[in-house]
Structure 1
Amino acid sequence: MKASELRAKDVAGLEKEVSDLLKAHFGLRMQKATQQLNNHSQLGKTRRDIARAKTILAEKKKEAAK
């Protein structure tokens, strides 16, 4: 997911996005553990998406606190 798409969302939308990404990442980790994961690059992509969403969420919360 692109940062511009995330910046268009509000705080509640970003929090939902982070939780969805964490669930997806957990599913990928379980697939890897059971050797069902074919595309291992998905793990890194979801981890970076989580970091991107959390960063934008923190920026929005900091901006709202001002």
Structure 2
Amino acid sequence: MKNKIKEIRKVMKMSQDELAKKCNVTRQTVNAIENEKYDPTLLLAFKLSKNLHCKVDELFIFEEEI
């Protein structure tokens, strides 16, 4: 699933480590999500959106497989 975490995080001048701490996950988890190697749980998606001050559907882009 594509996402805009990195772009929004950079605009907010927040490091991966800072975001990870706010969401109670590791920096490696944030990195894996940003690089689309891991899809977050629903709970984590909501935590990310809350800490990045945006809606979940603004943060993640669902691309339906055909």
Query: Structure 2-normalised TM-score?
Result: 0.28
Which structure is higher in helix share?
A: 1
Higher Cα radius of gyration = 1
Which structure is higher in strand share?
A: 2
